[in-house]
Amino acid sequence: MPVHRPGSRRPRSPGSLAGLALALLTALALAALTAVPAAARTAAVPARGSAYLGIGVAAHDGRSGTPPAVAAAVQTEGVDVSGHQGSVDWATLWNSGVRWAYTKATEGTYYTNPSFAQQYNGSYNVGMIRGAYHFA
């Protein structure tokens, strides 16, 4: 049986040194990930029961009353027509900027749009993008 003498040391293996380094790096990484930013540490916490909808908006968005400039989205005008509109003047709609049309063809099993052919083909004939739908 081997005898243990105080002060005697066994050489360390390279694997144990790598494990120690990995443990140290992991501890440092976790400390960095869980650190609370200074702004969060100093932010006032509302008294229990005094929070309200939007309480954090000013802190997040600021208090200036001017919204950021946003470019207007491009929109293409269109119409949804049905038998209620009857015969449609498609040229007038085209000249006003309308570029697409959806036409109601049917509803349930009991209704067929009597103006469907004029509405569907008329929109196409002036150059509009067209579509048809069934209202269930």
DSSP 58-103: HHHH-S-SPPPP-PPPP---EEEE-GGG-S--HHHHHHTT--EEEE
Share of the chain above pLDDT 90, in %: 45
Instruction: Judge whether 92 lies within some domain.
Output: yes
Give the per-residue pLDDT at 95: 98
Whether residue 120 is contained in a domain is answered as yes
Q: Mean pLDDT across the stretch 111-128?
A: 98
- Inside any domain, residue 97: yes
* Beta-bridge partner residues of 80: 102
Residue range of the domain that includes 113: 78-135
C-alpha to C-alpha distance for 136 and 133, rounded to whole angstroms: 9
| pTM above threshold 0.85 | no
pLDDT in tens, 47-103: 777 777 877 777 777 777 777 788 888 899 999 999 999 999 999 999 999 999 999
pLDDT of 53 reads 81
Total of domains in the chain: 1
The predicted model gives 93-117 an average pLDDT of 97
CB-CB contact of 104 with 83 (8 Å): yes
Residue 17: inside a domain: no
Over residues 11-22, the mean pLDDT reads 77
117, part of any domain:
yes
- Whether 105 is covered by a domain: the verdict is yes
Q: Which residue from 67, 45, 65 is spatially nearest to 56, judged by alpha carbons?
A: 45
Report yes or no on 108 lying in a domain.
yes
